[in-house]
Structures are given as structure tokens and as C-alpha cells.
């Protein structure tokens, strides 16, 4: 398909920067690209297009002709004027947003020492092991959110929204046949296997309920892996498994409390001088606060997977959901919330929660009103399976591909080195009929046990 007068096809590839080499620190591009190819869940499943003309406006607009209806009406033998075929059009506008972050290292870190000694080779190591994985995870979450935020979705069992999903609304394999039925009625029938991106809980449910048939079929039909995280083909669907499509605590609220004091970076983990996480790790710094303060710790226990967040379902701010209320729970966790942080509870004290890893963002330092700095929610996990039936279900419009920067230290002792990236892009649905989304419940692990919340 061509996109007239937009430049969308000027640069085209599997990644947002593969064919782009102007104004780039090109020495870092291979490291970013290699990490993206190896570890991105949506590598090869999202079409990227770069429009160099849209950077000033921040928008990409392209149009498509709507074909006329077929006409089977017979003509009179003496008719000299033929019926008019009406052509119309539609357009899609992508308004790009800017994303980015940075990694900071102290001058005494081994990586900084190696960089100073080895120059470019040391910098490649920092990019590939620290910056690139963070970039890939961020882009994958943006792509995931674009797929899940669909106006027409499917729910397991009798559920009709996130709040009504119950613990027994598990993954049902018959949905694969339903997806195939819908694909066969499309104007361009699917001839290749459908791709299913599934939560680990989906795969566990299948294995646990079919008396080994799932494994037997995989052994019989197993073919060369084509996707990252692919586990095999079943019911005509090539399944890839990834925890990214597990939406922790986004379902029915089981317990919620408010954060009652500002959380400083590094707070929340047990005191490393006295407590080892999992009996092994001394986590965090001794000078940090070794808990977070909450209005009430009742209803929380060790091993709970909880979400710390600022936005809630009733006050999502600018977080736009195409389905209105179906993909959120009143006062619950929003899967698109950029402040949401998932943590496992290590231990509980009166008015205090301790986690197995510290808080690493500054999202919980602003008083939202009445001494509330955010929320801690334990809710039912919502698991998603995304069925891809054709190309360009979601596309990414790119005005500036990811770039890396190494600004010089600016502190008094020139100790903190920063390695940053930014990008100007937008993941957006283009052909929603070419993919389907199925939400359901599923088992998870808690302190070595399989539980259905």
C-alpha cells in the first residue's frame, strides 16, 4: 500500500531506525538494533515508517481509497449512460509523542572504568547491556498498549469487562477456532498461521487441562521458530509466550491502600545490613528508608504482587481508553498508567510495606491531596492473548528514531555519567480487524504455590 504525499514509505523496515543514518550517533545503532531484534516481543509484528517531513508538526497523515461496491444489475440494451461508481476515502492521523530516559553510572563503576580504558568498545558495552534493554522494554510496552486498547475485544466466560473477570474465567482454546472463523470472513482470508501472543498463564491453563495434548501436538507440528519467544503452533496459531501481556492487578480490586508519605528513590527494600532477600541478596542501600508508609497494611501479605500507581480508573487523566470503561476498574490500576510499578511484597508491618526490590522512580513524591502520594493495589491479574491475523494491525509512525546521547558529567566532582536515549514516535492501530484481543483470568505463583486470584 502506498501513502500519498506523506513520506511514510520513504524509509521502511522492521525497526524504526534500520534505514535511517542522518543525524545519528551511528556507532551505537548496531547495539540498539541487535538488542531489538533479539529481545523485542513485537519485532517483525509491527510495521514502522519514518516520515522526515513531519517533525515540525508532530503528525503523520495518510489516506486510503474506499473501493466501490460490486454491481450485478443488468443493463438495458439501449442504455448509453453507465451507472456511476462512487469512490470515497478515509484517512489516518498519527500524532507522535516523545519518549526517552537515561541510565546513570558512577565514575567508580566497573563499566565506566572499562569505557575510559577501552573507549568505543566500552561505550558499546554500556549501550548494549544497560540502555538498549531499557529501550526495548519501553517500546514493547508502547506496542502492547496499542494492541490492547481496542474498541472491540473478547472476554472469557461470562465476563464483559475487567471488573467482571472472575478467577475461573480461564483461557479457552475454542477462542482459536473463533478467531479463525472471523479471519476466514475477511476480504483477505488468512492463509498463513495466525500469531497468538499469550501470557504464561494461558499456556499453563492449556497444559493443565488437556491431559498432555498440547505437548503432543507441538511435538507433531513443531516447526522452525519464526518469532521471538515462540513456543510452537497449536490449533493453527503460532503462539509466542511473554509476561508482558499479563496486566498485574488491573482486574477486580482485592485490596487497596494509599501511600501516606513521600517515597525517595531507593526506598522500600529491607535493610541490607540485617535482612537478605530470598536468603541471599542484600538489596538496596543502608541509608535508604527500608519500607514505604501506607494508610493500612491490612489485607496484604508476603508474596503478594502489587502495583504502586498514581492514576486510578476513575481519574485516569489523559490516559485514553478506546473502550471507555471496559478495560478499567473504578479506582483500579490502568494498564497504560506510566507511573505504575509492579513489586512483590517481602514482608508487612503495621502501616508499612517492604518489597523485594526498591522503588526506582520518583513518581510517588508529590502530595496528591490530603497526604496521599499514590496507591498500592492488589487486584486480580488480567491476562491478554493477542491474535494477529494480518500485517499492519498496529503501526508505528516515527518522526525521530531512537537516538543515544552521552552528556558530560555536570556535578561538582564530575562523578555521575549519563547515558540517555529519546525517540519521537507513536504506536497506533491501523487495521483493527487484522487482530483480536482476548482477556481472561489465569493462575500465578505465590511463594512457590500456584494460586488463582
**When comparing pLDDT for 125 and 190, which is higher?**
125
pLDDT at 206 over 70: yes
C-alpha span between 103 and 122 (Å, rounded): 15
pLDDT at 295: 97
Nearest to 12 by CA among 389, 398, 423: 398
pLDDT at 300 over 70: yes
Arithmetic mean of pLDDT, 371-400: 92
Cell numbers standing for residue 43: 519485532
- In this structure, is residue 198 part of a structural domain? yes
- In this structure, is residue 220 part of a structural domain? yes
Same-domain check for residues 234 and 268: no
How far is C-alpha 283 from the chain's CA centre? 27
Range of weakest confidence among 194-203, 254-263, 306-315, 327-336: 306-315
Same-domain check for residues 262 and 285: yes
Cell numbers standing for residue 90: 478515509
pLDDT at 307 over 80: yes
Same-domain check for residues 278 and 216: no
HEC string for 90-121:
EEEEEECEEEEEEEEEECCCHHHHHHHHHCHH
Same-domain check for residues 255 and 373: yes
pLDDT at 23 over 50: no
pLDDT at 11 over 50: no
Condensed to tens digits (0 to 9), the pLDDT of residues 130-150 reads 888 888 899 999 999 999 999
Same-domain check for residues 237 and 266: no
pLDDT at 3: 38
Q: Going by C-beta distance under 8 Å and a sequence separation of 6 or more, which residues neighbour residue 133?
A: 35, 39
Arithmetic mean of pLDDT, 36-61: 73
Query: Is the entire prediction scored with pTM above 0.75?
Result: yes
Q: Going by C-beta distance under 8 Å and a sequence separation of 6 or more, which residues neighbour residue 361?
A: 265, 339, 341
Same-domain check for residues 222 and 260: no
pLDDT at 400 over 90: no
- In this structure, is residue 185 part of a structural domain? yes
C-alpha span between 266 and 358 (Å, rounded): 5
- In this structure, is residue 8 part of a structural domain? no
Same-domain check for residues 343 and 387: no
C-alpha span between 257 and 296 (Å, rounded): 6
% of the chain with per-residue pLDDT over 90 = 40
- In this structure, is residue 164 part of a structural domain? yes
Range of the domain at 181: 158-245+383-391+431-451
pLDDT at 441 over 90: yes
pLDDT band at 401 (very low <50, low <70, confident <90, very high): confident
Count Cα neighbours of 104 within 13 Å in the Cβ-side half-sphere.
7
pLDDT band at 217 (very low <50, low <70, confident <90, very high): low
**When comparing pLDDT for 203 and 7, which is higher?**
203
pLDDT at 104 over 80: yes
pLDDT at 7: 42
Number of structural domains found in the chain: 2
Spatial contact of 48 and 15, defined as CB atoms under 8 Å apart: yes
- In this structure, is residue 40 part of a structural domain? no
**When comparing pLDDT for 166 and 122, which is higher?**
166
- In this structure, is residue 88 part of a structural domain? no
C-alpha span between 89 and 15 (Å, rounded): 29
pLDDT band at 245 (very low <50, low <70, confident <90, very high): very high
pLDDT at 216: 61
Same-domain check for residues 256 and 319: yes
Cell numbers standing for residue 349: 508491618
Same-domain check for residues 196 and 312: no
Cell numbers standing for residue 142: 508502547
pLDDT at 2: 37
Same-domain check for residues 238 and 190: yes
Residue 356, beta-bridge partner list: none
pLDDT at 190 over 60: no
pLDDT at 5 over 50: no
pLDDT at 220: 52
Range of weakest confidence among 192-206, 210-224, 270-284, 435-449: 210-224
Range of weakest confidence among 42-51, 250-259, 270-279: 42-51
Same-domain check for residues 290 and 371: yes
pLDDT at 410: 83
Nearest to 37 by CA among 20, 15, 21: 15
pLDDT band at 18 (very low <50, low <70, confident <90, very high): low
pLDDT at 6 over 60: no
- In this structure, is residue 43 part of a structural domain? no
pLDDT at 116 over 70: yes
Tell me which of 380, 407, 439 is where a domain ends. 380
Condensed to tens digits (0 to 9), the pLDDT of residues 63-76 reads 777 777 788 788 88
C-alpha span between 168 and 314 (Å, rounded): 26
Spatial contact of 165 and 440, defined as CB atoms under 8 Å apart: yes
Same-domain check for residues 354 and 271: yes
pLDDT band at 403 (very low <50, low <70, confident <90, very high): confident
First to last CA, the chain: 45
Amino acid at each position: 500500500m502506498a501513502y500519498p504525499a506523506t513520506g511514510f514509505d520513504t524509509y521502511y523496515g522492521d525497526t524504526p531506525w534500520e534505514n535511517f543514518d542522518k543525524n545519528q550517533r551511528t556507532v551505537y545503532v548496531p547495539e540498539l538494533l541487535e538488542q531489538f531484534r533479539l529481545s523485542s516481543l513485537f519485532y517483525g509484528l509491527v510495521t514502522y515508517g519514518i516520515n522526515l517531513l513531519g517533525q515540525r508538526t508532530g503528525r503523520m497523515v495518510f489516506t486510503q481509497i474506499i473501493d466501490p461496491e460490486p454491481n450485478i444489475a443488468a443493463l438495458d440494451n439501449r442504455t448509453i449512460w453507465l451507472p456511476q461508481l462512487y469512490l470515497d476515502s478515509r484517512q489516518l492521523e498519527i500524532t507522535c509523542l516523545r519518549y526517552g530516559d537515561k541510565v546513570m553510572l558512577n565514575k567508580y563503576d566497573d563499566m565506566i572504568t572499562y569505557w575510559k580504558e577501552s573507549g568505543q568498545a566500552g561505550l558499546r558495552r554500556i549501550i548494549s547491556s544497560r540502555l538498549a534493554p531499557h529501550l526495548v522494554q519501553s517500546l514493547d510496552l508502547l506496542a502492547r498498549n496499542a494492541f490492547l486498547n481496542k474498541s472491540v475485544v473478547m472476554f472469557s466466560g461470562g465476563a464483559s469487562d475487567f471488573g467482571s473477570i472472575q478467577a475461573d474465567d480461564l483461557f479457552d482454546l475454542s477462542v482459536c477456532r473463533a478467531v479463525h472463523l472471523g479471519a476466514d470472513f475477511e476480504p483477505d482470508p488468512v492463509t498463513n498461521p495466525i500469531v497468538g501472543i499469550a501470557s504464561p498463564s494461558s499456556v499453563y491453563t492449556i497444559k493443565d487441562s488437556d491431559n498432555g495434548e498440547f505437548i503432543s501436538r507441538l511435538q507433531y507440528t513443531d516447526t522452525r521458530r519464526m518469532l521471538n519467544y515462540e513456543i510452537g503452533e497449536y490449533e493453527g496459531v503460532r503462539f509466542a509466550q511473554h509476561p508482558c501481556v499479563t496486566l498485574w492487578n488491573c482486574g477486580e480490586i482485592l485490596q487497596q491502600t494509599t501511600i501516606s508519605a513521600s517515597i525517595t528513590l531507593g526506598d522500600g527494600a529491607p535493610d541490607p545490613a540485617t535482612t537478605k532477600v530470598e536468603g541471599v541478596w542484600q538489596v538496596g542501600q543502608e541509608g535508604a528508608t527500608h519500607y514505604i508508609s501506607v494508610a493500612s497494611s491490612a489485607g496484604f501479605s508476603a508474596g503478594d504482587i502489587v502495583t504502586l500507581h498514581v492514576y486510578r480508573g476513575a481519574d485516569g487523566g489523559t490516559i485514553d481508553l478506546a473502550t471507555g470503561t471496559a478495560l478499567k476498574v473504578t479506582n483500579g490500576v490502568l494498564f497504560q498508567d506510566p507511573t505504575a510499578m509492579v513489586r512483590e511484597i517481602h514482608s508487612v508491618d503495621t502501616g508499612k510495606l517492604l518489597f523485594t526490590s526498591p522503588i526506582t522512580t520518583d513518581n510517588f513524591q508529590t502530595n496528591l491531596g490530603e497526604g496521599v502520594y499514590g496507591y498500592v493495589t492488589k487486584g486480580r491479574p488480567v491476562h491478554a492473548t493477542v491474535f494477529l491475523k494480518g500485517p499492519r494491525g498496529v503501526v508505528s509512525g516515527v518522526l525521530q528514531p531512537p537516538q543515544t546521547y552521552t552528556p558530560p558529567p555536570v556535578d561538582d566532582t564530575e562523578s555521575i555519567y549519563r547515558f540517555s536515549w529519546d525517540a519521537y514516535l507513536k504506536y497506533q492501530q491501523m487495521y483493527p480487524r487484522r487482530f483480536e484481543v482476548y482477556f481472561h483470568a489465569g493462575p500465578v505463583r505465590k511463594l512457590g504455590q500456584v494460586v488463582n486470584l
